Chains A and B, each alone.
Chain A
């Protein structure tokens, strides 16, 4: 494969509490290659959003990177100063957040909010900025872009607001776009329209995308590869089809099996026993061990190394033994 655009290596992010530091992200490593869509899946509290905030350099005040590196175009972002961050944010890396209601400024027209990015990062004339903004508004599927340029966020529907947020993220033609649950707050028909827009972005622009979602059906539609996270760890990563149809990690298998659909009507749904451990409840070893049907003694003491099983990379002791055991699916 080509050189990665973004490379995260051994990243630890900790929250600081009065009684000490607690790692919310533990030894996370993955790459994003040019022109690919990488999905990150996992349940709430597994560290998906925190990872993306670490990449953007917008960690909460009581959290910081403890170790590891985030390399973007040969620069380690972790050691950068705030001034340098500001040059990158919105320009080379941009972000689309879940809530289109709260991520727009209610007091500014939407056109101004899109053009603002160009004002920060480019030296265009006012006229050029407006032209570029309106052209992009049309590209993301906003009707009557000229008229909408002067409207305020409250005048728009949820789907239109999300298109504005996407336009803000796209206007500077960034090399990396991070979309954090971009369709979760939308209705299924609007979600389908926005997902089409993302597929379009992938085809027409030379950007890479990190697409965070808890919905595996959505991930399947837009992503090339996927990273599965659990309790701050990457447990499995690989091509979307391999992960969804041939999952190897017991957590990934459980997650896929617990999704309801019409074929499972009348049957009890598979459930993973227990809950995701809280930040302060995480123990040594594999964080999934307490909920895992295949747990062994070693799972409680050591986190498994990442090994390749068939086409994907898995962190599970079931596969770290010399002879790779065949693990039947959980039923």
Chain B
């Protein structure tokens, strides 16, 4: 494989919470990212899945440096972006964009679509008046809208059209990398299909790299080349969509994939007891052992390490580290 486009090295992001009462000794700490490492390759769609509170959105925002990591490094085409100055960050941000879940909340309700698309060009001092207008026209056509939309306001648009505008405002700067944070989750299926097709078309046209954050496993399996599964701030399994989708290895991944409601025959569901533990007080050892049907004694005390099943496929679970014969397959 070629050199990674984006590389995360042991990234931690800890949120300090205020003391809940005067009797608490220390403020509690939520480890939203607890040693996350993975690589993204140019032109791929990388899916990040997990339950709410698993740290997927934090990961997306830390990569874009919208949130500052607690420790660790993030390399963008070989350069560590965590050491960037303000000025360097600003010029880098042209290349990296984000599309959020809720286009109602992410578009300024008082501005026209033209203003919304013009603003990023102005902030980054790109082009003159004529070339900016040309770029806006090109972008609005790229996302499947026409020029009549430019004079409208966000409230005059449907949910799908608004999401197209949100994509356009990310696209207008000619980015290389876009984080799509639950970008299709709030849409109806028929609209969702239109937006997914649009994202695929744009990826082919502009060689975009996507980090696709979603809790909808059907969408992720349709859209992404590779998938990472997060649980309590850690990646528990990472591999190609074929590998993980057909035969997930980590007990959490197994339970997650078996819980998808299918239209055709039911898979046997692996029940998952309880809910995500309090992230400010995660279990010792493997963070999943409290809900794991296959937990062994060692899971309660010893933290499993990343185990490479084969090139590009890794699982963090004691079930696999203790059986070395798996390594050769």
B255 to A189, Cβ gap below 8 A? yes
Main secondary structure of the interface of B (DSSP, over half): helix
A265 proximal to B (CB < 8 A): yes
Confirm or deny: A268 has a beta carbon within 8 angstroms of a beta carbon on chain B.
yes
Q: Is the CB of A189 within 8 A of B261?
A: no
Q: Is the CB of B189 within 8 A of A214?
A: yes
Which of B34-42, B216-224, B292-300, B312-320 interfaces with chain A?
B216-224
Q: How far is the CB of B233 from chain A (nearest CB, A)?
A: 16
B272 within 8 A of A: yes
Chain A residues, Cβ within 8 Å of B190? 43, 254-255, 258, 271-272
A-B contact count (CB 8 A): 110
Interface residues of B in 300-321 (CB under 8 A from A): none
B215 on the A face (CB < 8 A): yes
Identify whether the interface residues of A are mostly helix, strand, loop, or mixed: helix
From B161, B193, B218, A270 is in contact (CB under 8 Å) with B193
Contact yes or no, A192 B222, CB < 8 A = no
CB contact under 8 A between A216 and B263, given known A159-B275, A258-B189, A258-B193: yes
Cβ contact within 8 Å between A269 and B215: no
Query: Which one of B191, B200, B263 lies within 8 Å of A217 (CB-CB)?
Result: B263
Residue in B closest to A256 when the chains form the complex, CB atoms: B263
Closest Cβ of chain B to A166, distance in Å, is: 16
Q: Does A311 sit within 8 A of B, measured CB to CB?
A: no
A157 at the interface (CB under 8 A from B): yes
Closest CB of chain B to A209's CB: distance in Å?
17
Q: Is the CB of B192 within 8 A of A258?
A: yes
- Neighbouring A residues of B161 by C-beta, 8 Å: 275
B41 to chain A, nearest CB (A): 17
Q: B196 near A269 (CB under 8 angstroms)?
A: yes
CA distance A244 to B194 in the complex (A): 21
Q: Are A260 and B219 in contact (CB under 8 A)?
A: yes
What 1/0 flags go to B217-238 for Cβ under 8 Å of A?
1110111000000000000000
Given the known A-B contacts A187-B215, A189-B255, A275-B158, are A260 and B192 also in contact in the complex, defined by CB atoms under 8 Å? yes
Q: Is A329 an interface residue (CB 8 A)?
A: no
Question: A residues 116-156 with Cβ under 8 Å of B?
Answer: none
Provide the residues of chain B in CB contact with A268, threshold 8 Å. Answer: 197, 200
Report how far A258 CA is from B191 CA in the complex, Å. Answer: 9
Q: Does A44 contact B (CB under 8 A)?
A: yes
Complexed CA–CA distance, A188 and B217 (Å): 9
Q: B263 contacts A220, CB within 8 Å? A: yes
CA distance A260 to B212 in the complex (A): 15
Question: Within the assembled complex, what's the spacing in Å between the Cα atoms of A255 and B52?
Answer: 27
- Shortest Cβ gap from A214 to chain B (Å): 6
A183-195 CB contact bits vs B (8 Å, 1 = yes)?
0000111111101
Given contacts A44-B188, A262-B222, A265-B221, contact A188 B215 (CB under 8 A): yes
Which A residues lie at the B interface, using CB under 8 A?
43-44, 157-160, 187-193, 195-196, 214-218, 220-221, 244, 254-256, 258-262, 264-265, 268-272, 275-276
30 A-B pairs in the complex with CB atoms less than 8 angstroms apart = A43-B189, A43-B190, A44-B188, A187-B51, A187-B52, A188-B215, A188-B217, A189-B259, A190-B51, A192-B259, A192-B261, A214-B189, A216-B263, A217-B260, A217-B261, A217-B263, A221-B261, A258-B193, A259-B193, A260-B219, A260-B221, A261-B222, A261-B262, A262-B221, A265-B223, A268-B200, A269-B222, A270-B193, A271-B193, A275-B158
13 further contact pairs, Cβ within 8 A, besides A187-B215, A260-B192, A269-B197? A157-B276, A158-B52, A188-B217, A192-B272, A195-B261, A260-B218, A260-B221, A261-B218, A265-B222, A271-B190, A271-B193, A276-B158, A276-B188
